[in-house]
Amino acid sequence: MQYYNATTKIEFSPEIGPSTNESVCNPLKGQTFSAEYESFLAITERGPYNLGSNPVNALLTLWNSGTNLSSLSEDFGFPWESSSLRWYIESSPWVEFASNTSTESDAVTDHFIKDVFNLTLSPRSNKTPYNLTGTIQNADLMLRSFDMNLKSCDSSTESSQNRMTLVDRDYSNNAGWNWTYPAVEIQFDSQTANFTLSGYAAAIPYYINRADSLKSLGPDEVQGTIKVSFSGVIDSYHSDILVNTSSTPTWQRTVGFGNNSMNIGYDSGSFGFPRALYWEAATICSVVSLALVSF
């Protein structure tokens, strides 16, 4: 497993209103809005329960500024139940979430986990970064949202805070709109990683007094292009060693085994005890959603 730290930048540019035939309201017209979040990217080996052809599993989590992951709960629901988690993008669903939540029940077939991304690994020469590309189609990402501040179309009733969702399938509001499926690019080596998602999103404003309203979301939806960009550096303290000479990504397992002085829990006299003895919340955050299938 490789674990990278950075700030993720999200950019959103409205193109149409609630439907193809409706325009963007004047306060949002021609604007590009951005937000930044502290982020962690985990890239791991595939496990026995993964169903699909992806060469690795990948998880990008976005957090409130200043979040101390080591202080968070290590319950099985972590990190999804943390109020500090703003959004996440995963290449394969978390087993427990996919198995027990009806909205993603089709993500599991006979206890094997279907991929969300359809990643392809590009050929590489010795020690150049691994490069993966792919798209996301019909993965119901619109059921997974995050909040982002734009501008208000109607400041008397609607907040500038919007609920944002990626568009990854046809639905009534995007009929006739020339949108495309989200495209993903991942490059990584033993020191750095880049993660980029380009696609389309829908933004729906919250009512200012949504607690007192029968509906929490206002009518002035806008849809447009979205770009998610992450450029991170390795967190050696929580990462295994990438075998950078292989044609496909593989790792020398070191975290928790006491065989790498840069890792959490290193003890020169540990004689390779199981990594579970040294696991902590920051590492669990990176791998629990990948179904604990890499270990």
Where along the chain do its domains lie?
A: 2-148+164-197+223-290
Q: What is the pLDDT of residue 138?
A: 74
Q: What is the pLDDT of residue 256?
A: 54
Cα 276 from Cα 78, distance rounded (Å): 16
Q: Which of 77-91, 114-128, 274-288 has the lowest mean pLDDT?
A: 274-288
Segment 29-58 mean pLDDT: 90
Q: Which of 32-36, 192-196, 210-214, 275-279 has the lowest mean pLDDT?
A: 275-279
pLDDT digits (tens, 9 = 90+) for 152-190: 999 999 999 999 999 988 877 788 888 999 999 999 998
**Which of the two residues, 104 and 155, has the higher pLDDT score?**
155
Reported pTM: 0.81
Segment 30-58 mean pLDDT: 90
pLDDT digits (tens, 9 = 90+) for 106-139: 554 545 677 888 899 998 877 789 999 999 887 7
Could you tell me the pLDDT band of residue 58, with boundaries at 50, 70 and 90? Answer: very high
Instruction: Read off the amino acid at residue 57.
Output: N
Q: What is the pLDDT of residue 127?
A: 74
Segment 63-74 mean pLDDT: 70
Q: What is the pLDDT of residue 11?
A: 98
Res. 46: pLDDT tops 60 = yes
Res. 54: pLDDT tops 60 = yes
Q: What is the pLDDT of residue 95?
A: 53
- Which own/partner contact pairs does 108-113 have at CB distance under 8 Å and 24+ positions apart? 109/51, 111/49, 112/49, 112/50, 112/51, 113/49, 113/50, 113/51, 113/291, 113/293
On average, the pLDDT of the chain sits at 78
Cβ-based neighbours of 97, under 8 Å, separated by 6 or more: 80, 104, 289
Check if the beta carbon of residue 79 is closer than 8 Å to that of residue 68: no
Could you tell me the pLDDT band of residue 49, with boundaries at 50, 70 and 90? Answer: confident
Res. 94: pLDDT tops 80 = no
Cβ-based neighbours of 153, under 8 Å, separated by 6 or more: 25, 27, 28, 205, 218, 220, 222
Res. 146: pLDDT tops 50 = yes
Res. 99: pLDDT tops 50 = no
Instruction: Dig out the tokens for 104 from the structure.
Output: 């993603």
**Radius of gyration for the chain, computed over Cα atoms and rounded to the nearest angstrom:** 20
